[in-house]
């Protein structure tokens, strides 16, 4: 594996874990009559939610590094990778916003 791929995987994992820490919910709210009941997730459930973001970050970082390395080797640049990443980030952003404001 070349240096581009290793750096892409490393940075993608770090950014994914950081986003997971920021975006993962650690409480569950339920309502019963006039009371609001707040329960906290177990550490295992929270860790799995954070690691899910980390795994997605690793895959995105690996894809970006692969495209950057391929573009350097092939020559003329196409924009398929950028369009794919734009749609991916847009759909992830919409999903995150809908998850936060449910």
| The predicted structure's pLDDT at residue 38 | 87
The mean pLDDT value of the chain amounts to 81
| The predicted structure's pLDDT at residue 36 | 87
Instruction: List, as one string, the DSSP characters of 61-82.
Output: HHHHHHHHHHHHHH-S--SHHH
Encoding tokens for residue 6? 């290793």
pLDDT band at 25 (very low <50, low <70, confident <90, very high): confident
pLDDT band at 65 (very low <50, low <70, confident <90, very high): confident
The predicted model scores a pTM of 0.61
| The predicted structure's pLDDT at residue 87 | 83
Distances (CA, A) of 71 to 12, 23, 26, 43, 84: 19, 33, 41, 42, 15
């Amino acid at each position: 594996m070349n240096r581009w791929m290793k750096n892409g995987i490393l940075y993608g994992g770090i950014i994914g874990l950081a986003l997971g820490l920021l975006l993962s919910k650690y409480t569950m709210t339920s309502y019963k009559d006039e009371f609001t009941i707040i329960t906290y997730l177990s550490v295992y459930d929270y860790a799995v939610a954070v690691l899910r973001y980390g795994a997605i970050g690793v895959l995105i970082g690996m894809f970006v590094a692969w495209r950057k390395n391929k573009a350097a080797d092939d020559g003329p640049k196409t924009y398929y990778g950028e369009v794919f990443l734009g749609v991916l980030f847009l759909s992830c952003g919409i999903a995150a916003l809908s998850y936060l404001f449910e």
